[in-house]
């Protein structure tokens, strides 16, 4: 079953950065079979894209879907103050609320051009089961790929950690649950729709022992590792006080600087830290809007890229980036890089690359992130005939400078998830209504 998507600017994001000005994309089932311009191949069906821009589907490398339930709280707070205010509210989460939150967050991401979502879930109140299963179900229904995670916190306030004691778990429970979810959900190999990562939360909410045991388990099961790191200067001070070293040094001690690890934020990395990330192959999820919202700072992404570090983009949770729009992060990544390093610090195409190839590299996925034969048919179609792009001759750069936009069409594994700017498999208004009903539990 082949489909030819024609009459579009195809941005392949291959190694050479090939673009086809009057291009086409041939899909065979769930994979891309050819891409090019000029003479068009025969196909079972043909779709005319009317001069739109086609990019690989965006890949979100850091999120907390449950946080759609607690938007616009602690509005002027720094990270630690914000967390202290929200932990008790988050402790009300159950599978029903998680499902409603995940549907909301995943729908929003799909409508922003995102085809693969990594979600970092680390709040597991006692007795609430099925949280990860609920978000995976939501992803399956909406039609996007998900890399879920079994996050964790085991360092409560009374042991010097930040979260309240009632929100931390026993180490053995965390490891057993991680192993159970891995055997239940994780699909190895190309084309995976559902995968699992092992993701203890942060240096200030997890013991060193759980970090080490998590790494050992992940390496035994062949799962990737993820955590938050170097997000704020307060975190750095906390690490120095508790562990007598800075966050990157702490991670190194725990065996966490490695090519199966990626860390969210990495705002406060020194030149030495950057060199260590590069030599160890450790990846970074850059979350510019969230970092600005919490006043954390701006990550030195240009330096990271020049050192050869894998960098992808993340919206982060929607309680610290109230907009779950990954295309906004593409634009934001370009803007903050320029704010740090001047107008040449990042091009529009560099920013698209971070959101696509960069994300695939961070998640260690060679089957997604570019439009090349043999890769998954995951792509986003951006209309260029609207008000915001009138007179933009360079339509590819134009969509970034004028972003964000609602995607016109989104395809995951050859299947349409968004068509004419609307979800194919779900009703946006119904998702928002169900979410409002659940979110009432989280007010006050």
Site residues (vs Zn ion, CB under 5 A): 316
Residue 284 and residue 258: Cα distance in Å, rounded? Answer: 12
Least Å from the CB of residue 63 to Zn ion: 8
Determine the residue with CB nearest Zn ion: 316
Select from 148, 157, 101, 92 the least CA-distant residue to 124. 92
CB 249 within 8 A of CB 235: no
Identity of the residue, 168 or 345, whose beta carbon is nearer to Zn ion in the bound complex:
168
Select from 330, 361, 360 the least CA-distant residue to 346. 330
Identity of the residue, 235 or 316, whose beta carbon is nearer to Zn ion in the bound complex:
316
Residue 380 and residue 166: Cα distance in Å, rounded? Answer: 43
Alpha helices by DSSP H, listed for 376-444, are 395-401, 428-439
Least Å from the CB of residue 232 to Zn ion: 12
Least Å from the CB of residue 272 to Zn ion: 24
Residue 329 and residue 334: Cα distance in Å, rounded? Answer: 8
Residue 413 and residue 248: Cα distance in Å, rounded? Answer: 37
Least Å from the CB of residue 228 to Zn ion: 5
Query: What residues contact 66, with CB distance under 8 A and at least 6 apart?
Result: 90, 93, 97, 98, 101, 102, 121, 123, 131, 317
Identity of the residue, 55 or 291, whose beta carbon is nearer to Zn ion in the bound complex:
291
Identity of the residue, 260 or 316, whose beta carbon is nearer to Zn ion in the bound complex:
316
Identity of the residue, 119 or 316, whose beta carbon is nearer to Zn ion in the bound complex:
316
Identity of the residue, 321 or 384, whose beta carbon is nearer to Zn ion in the bound complex:
321
Secondary structure E strands in 240-292: 261-265, 283-286
CB 178 within 8 A of CB 214: yes
Identity of the residue, 325 or 408, whose beta carbon is nearer to Zn ion in the bound complex:
325
Least Å from the CB of residue 344 to Zn ion: 30
Measured CA distances, 4 to 37, 40, 190, 271, 332 (Å): 12, 8, 23, 47, 33
Least Å from the CB of residue 62 to Zn ion: 6
Least Å from the CB of residue 44 to Zn ion: 43
Select from 345, 326, 329 the least CA-distant residue to 337. 345
């Amino acid at each position: 079953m082949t489909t030819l998507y024609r009459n579009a600017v195809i941005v392949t994001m291959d190694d050479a950065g090939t673009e086809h000005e009057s291009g086409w994309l041939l899909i065979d089932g769930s994979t891309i079979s050819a891409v090019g311009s000029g003479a068009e191949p025969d196909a079972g069906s043909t779709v005319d894209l009317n001069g739109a821009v086609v990019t690989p589907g965006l890949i979100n490398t850091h999120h907390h879907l449950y946080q759609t339930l607690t938007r616009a709280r602690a509005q002027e707070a720094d990270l630690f103050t914000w967390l202290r205010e929200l932990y008790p509210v988050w402790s009300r989460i159950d599978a029903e609320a998680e499902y409603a939150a995940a549907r909301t967050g995943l729908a929003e991401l799909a409508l922003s051009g995102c085809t693969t979502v990594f979600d970092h879930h680390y709040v597991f109140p006692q007795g609430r089961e099925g949280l990860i299963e609920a978000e995976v179900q939501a992803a399956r229904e909406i039609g996007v790929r998900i890399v879920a995670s079994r996050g964790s916190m085991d360092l409560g306030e009374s042991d010097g950690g930040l979260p309240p004691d009632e929100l931390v778990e026993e180490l053995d429970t965390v490891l057993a649950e991680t192993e159970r979810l891995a055997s239940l959900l994780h699909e190895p190999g190309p084309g995976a729709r559902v995968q699992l990562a092992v993701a203890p939360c942060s240096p200030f909410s997890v013991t060193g022992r759980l970090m080490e045991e998590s790494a050992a388990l992940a390496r035994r099961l062949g799962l990737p590792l993820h955590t938050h790191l170097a997000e704020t200067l307060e975190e750095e001070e906390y690490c120095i006080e508790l562990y007598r070293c800075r966050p990157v040094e702490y991670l190194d001690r725990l065996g966490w600087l490695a090519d199966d690890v990626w860390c969210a934020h990495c705002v406060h990395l020194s030149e030495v830290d950057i060199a260590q990330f590069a030599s160890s192959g450790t990846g970074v999820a850059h979350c510019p809007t969230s970092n600005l919202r919490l006043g954390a700072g701006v990550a030195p992404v240009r330096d990271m890229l020049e050192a050869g570090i894998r960098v992808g983009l993340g919206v982060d949770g929607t309680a610290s980036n109230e907009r779950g729009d990954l295309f906004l992060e593409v634009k934001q990544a370009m803007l903050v890089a320029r704010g740090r390093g001047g107008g040449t610090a990042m091009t529009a195409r560099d920013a698209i690359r971070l959101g696509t190839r960069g994300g695939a590299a961070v998640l260690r996925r060679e089957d997604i992130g570019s439009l090349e034969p043999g890769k998954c048919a995951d792509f986003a179609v951006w209309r260029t005939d609207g008000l915001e792009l009138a007179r933009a001759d360079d339509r590819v750069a134009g969509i970034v400078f004028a972003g964000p936009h609602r995607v016109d069409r989104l395809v995951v594994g050859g299947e349409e998830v968004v068509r004419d700017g609307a979800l194919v498999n779900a009703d946006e208004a119904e998702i928002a209504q169900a979410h409002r009903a659940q979110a009432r539990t989280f007010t006050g």
